[in-house]
Amino acid sequence: MNNNTQKQSPVIRLDWIKERNPKLTIISILLLCIFLYIADNRFDAYQVRVLNLCAIYTVLGLSMNLINGFTGLFSLGHAGFMAIGAYTCALFTMPVTVKDQNFFLEPINEVLRTIVLPYPIALLVGGIFAALMAFLIGAPVLRLKGDYLGIATLGFAEIIRIVITNLQTITNGALGLKSIPAKTNLWWSFGIAAFTTAFLVWLINSSYGRAFKAIREDEIAAEAMGINLFKHKVLSFVIGAFFAGVGGGLLGNLLGAINPLLFRFTLTFNILLIIVLGGMGSITGTIISAFIVTIGQEALRFLDQPFSLGFIQVPGISGLRMVVFSALLMLVVLFFRKGLMGTNEFSWDSFIGFFKNIGKRPGKPLSKGGTES
């Protein structure tokens, strides 16, 4: 009798898990929605803005992780793609009067002046423009490998920025754009972050995702297995750039003002930092670290103001925050070489297993373990 139940239990448990996991996913999505609803109504403007930034950096981190972490292409062109997305989205959402106020040095291009699109379509167009640019850049650049690819993409991102600076009638040049309609709210940013996550999870687990990972693991073997290296590298690059453009659009309409200096290469490194911290090749890791880095940068802001350590008064040193942050990062890189998650992903089974293991620390008699499940 006892034997019989033991034999059956694994099967029953599997069925139960199969039903449990989707339910848990739905419950957590609902909880997130409730949280967003509360945050939207109760949180102050600053907190909402930080949350928005968290979601936007999730989108940006994920898009970069697809290129760098999953396909193994060392690309540093993200700021350029974001700039294209941000400018496109901002220009297409600004009403005509605001455009006229912005372009006081030289009038705006007449065609561009009249086009005003709804926010979601503007975001989409921003993403598509960024993807188009990635396609054009990809053709020459993706023939390079390793560091050379990094340098070339970095160069192209700077070229994009310089071009934007000089297209006075289209981008308003170095003056940048101001009074961009604040269309980005929690629902948009978290909605798009959720969509990006789902899209990338599905992509990574599909046959195309496997091909990307094969290229990361061994290009020569991947090619010998019939994978068209160039086509798949371009695919990954273009998809990454699309989401970077969408993320840039979200960012521009959140900040309300953008100028070419915002999209310097330091922005790319901020995102690179997120994916290295989270783990190259881990979607879960990127999401976690996007939140940690964004909130961390805000939480450490007190370091820039004068503060007291009890025995010593520290005068306000602007930039101290970044010093401390860099030191923290160095610790992470030294002691967690593969980032927080490595290439692992979140799953309900391992999540629950983790808590079960805490409860099952040694000391409990083994015989009880059998009756628990």
Site for another protein, rule CB under 8 A = 199, 202-203, 206-208, 210-211, 213-214, 217-218, 220-229, 235, 343
What would the two tokens of residue 185 be? 């709210």
Q: Which is nearer to another protein, 270 or 343 (CB)?
A: 343
Give residue 16's Cα distance to chain centre: 33
Q: Which is nearer to another protein, 164 or 211 (CB)?
A: 211
Distance separating alpha carbons of residues 164 and 172, to the nearest angstrom: 8
Q: Which is nearer to another protein, 100 or 218 (CB)?
A: 218
Q: Which is nearer to another protein, 106 or 217 (CB)?
A: 217
Residue 145 beta carbon to another protein: minimum distance, rounded to whole angstroms: 15
Handedness of CA 23, 28, 29, 34 (dihedral sign): positive
Query: Residue 366's CB: how many other CB atoms inside 10 A?
Result: 8
Residue type, 164: I
Residue 73 beta carbon to another protein: minimum distance, rounded to whole angstroms: 16
3-state helix, strand and coil shares in percent for the chain, rounded to the nearest 5: 75, 0, 20
Residue 200 beta carbon to another protein: minimum distance, rounded to whole angstroms: 9
Residue type, 186: L
Distance separating alpha carbons of residues 204 and 218, to the nearest angstrom: 17
Q: Which is nearer to another protein, 208 or 269 (CB)?
A: 208
Residue 243 beta carbon to another protein: minimum distance, rounded to whole angstroms: 13
What would the two tokens of residue 137 be? 């850049």
Q: Which is nearer to another protein, 70 or 291 (CB)?
A: 70
Distance separating alpha carbons of residues 178 and 303, to the nearest angstrom: 29
H or E stretch at 188: helix 186-205
